[in-house]
Structure 1
Amino acid sequence: MRIMKNSVFGYVCAALVVLAAGPAAAQLKLPAPSPGAKVSQEVGLTDISIEYSSPAVKGRKIWGDLVPWEKPWRTGANASTKITFSRDVTFGGKPVPAGTYAIVTLPAQKGWTVVLSKELGLWQGKTYDAKDDVVRVPATTAAIPLRERLTFLFSNTTDNGTTLDLEWEKLRVSVPIQVDTAAQAQANIKAAVDGAWRAPNAAARYELETTKNLDAALKYADLSIAIQPTWYNQWTKAEVLAQKGNYTEARKFAQASWELGEKDPNFFFKDAVAQALADWKNKK
């Protein structure tokens, strides 16, 4: 009887040990066969990044065997490899809008093809379909010393372009990427200059509405107008002058604001300007 009780007790203890180990086992982390990897490159004003899984050679024959010729390949392992462009680029000589795409390759003994697909769920319940291609471009190949793990690199990077390299086993596959940095820089300059009036106008409104420092508000309003006259800074100055009791000048700037703003769909002080012109009509 005592032996039976001891046996039951032993089984119970063993079961408790297994149950206690369950959560720990579930949290066990081991090296992934194809670990995740990321690489990014700034090219002029454009950010390019790639997220992929990196399988190893492990003594296997890769090209034409593990990776068959002439069949769509995820260009990595696990989920599809993804490339992201922060701005429009030229990929392999073809225009590609800013965005994220899946990289699909068609390996061949003579001439690889690289595809950017808009379907990001490839190899995760989605199969490759050419109708999802954004661009399809030829790639150059070159022999290299053994690289055990599949790796994406950027080379020959300048302000206007870079080369995307895929290296694995003893092969490198390359596609050039170009960006129009000069045009992007000019657009940034224009946006900065066109918006330069905003900061002093915001300062003028702060002084007008919060601190009630009318002299400071007038100074900032004048600075904003000197940079670029707009309906908004003209109205700001009109309000400041009215607060100072100079309605004659206030009407002039309110009228200027009205003339600049009446064709602007964002003339959100339209009613206030119209009311001020009516109210200040006979004030000096």
Structure 2
Amino acid sequence: MKKTTFIATCALAFTTLLSVNVTAQDFPELDKSPMDVAAFPTSYKDANKLVKITYSRPQLKDREVSKLAPMDKVWRVGANEAAEISFYKEIKLGKTTIKPGTYTFYLIPGEKEWTAIINADVNVWGSYFYNEANDVARLTVPVKKGDAVVEAFSIVFDENKENVNMHIGWGNTRLVVPFTK
């Protein structure tokens, strides 16, 4: 009887201690611009990735893309931290070969074309500390208008022949950044 009481008392003490530790942690609310990842190949079943980008997904909420990503200014691509892009094999942006590694991805919005930038800096907040001297590659791509409105900033990849295309959409703005394998 004493052994059973002792075991029950220990179990109750352990359970109480465990529940105190678990409930003592404060968790923040969901971020207004949650982070997301887009990768190629797109299937989660394929672990042999070529490229992966981590970015935050701000929402328009009745605002205009041009106010959140101003024309002719370096934009962090999303919200919060600057987007980071990782390449797992050599790839080209335009005529520039990019070695495997992690980089920051920026855009400069324009009226008819946007400039895609791969920069050697990482772990950067916004575009406040952007340093053009650390650019690895740049490519100007045409911007188009889509029919449907994309409320939350979005990036997806697809493939055509020798290219892996990064599609970027927000509001009615659409652009494609082609990477050559």
TM-score band w.r.t. shorter chain: 0.7 to 0.9
Cα 1:32–1:158 shift into 2, 3 Å:
same
TM-score between both structures, scaled by the size of structure 2? 0.77
1:102 and 2:104 equivalent?
A: yes
- Whole-Å separation in 2 of the counterparts to 1:136 and 1:125: 16
Confirm or deny: 8 A CA contact 1:140 1:175 kept in the other structure.
Answer: no
SS of equivalent to 2:164: strand
> Take 2:82 and 2:127, find their aligned partners in 1: how far apart are those partners?
11
1:161-176 paired onto structure 2 within 5 Å = 161-176=163-178
After superposition, residues 123-134 of structure 1 pair within 5 angstroms as 123=125, 127-134=129-136
Matching residue's letter, 1:55: P
- Conserved in 1, the CA contact under 8 Å of 2:82 and 2:125? yes
Asked if 2 retains the 8 angstrom alpha-carbon contact of 1:92 and 1:175, the reply is no
**Any residues of structure 2 matched to 1:1-284 within 5 Å, and which?**
27-42=26-41, 47-63=50-66, 65-123=67-125, 127-144=129-146, 145-155=148-158, 157-158=159-160, 160-179=162-181
| Unaligned ranges ≥5, structure 2 | 1-21, 43-47
Alpha-carbon distance in structure 1 between the residues aligned to 2:68 and 2:127: 21
**Relative contact order (C-alpha < 8 Å, sep 6+): which is higher?**
2
Q: Secondary structure at the match of 2:50?
A: strand
Aligned length: 154
Distance 1:68 1:125 in 2: 12
Large movers: runs of 4+ above 4 Å:
23-26
For structure 1, list consecutive stretches of 5 or more residues without a partner in the other structure. Answer: 1-22, 180-284
User: How far did 1:62 drift?
Assistant: 1.7
Q: Contact 2:166/2:177 (CA < 8 Å) preserved in 1?
A: yes
What is the rounded CA distance, in whole Å, between the counterparts of 2:127 and 2:168 in structure 1? Answer: 25
The share of aligned pairs that are identical, in percent, is 25
Greater fraction of residues in helix:
1
For the 8 Å contact 1:93–1:177, the answer to whether it is kept is no
Deviations 1:137-191 (A, max 9, x none): 1112111110000111112x14632111111111112111111xxxxxxxxxxxx
Contact kept in structure 2, 1:55 and 1:149, CA below 8 Å? yes
Matched residue type, 2:143: T
Greater C-alpha Rg = 1
Alpha carbons 2:76, 2:126 under 8 Å: kept: no
Residue 81 of structure 1 deviates from its aligned partner by 0.3
Q: Which residue of 2 aligns with 1:264?
A: none
Cα separation, partners in 2 of 1:25 and 1:114, compared to 1, 3 Å: farther
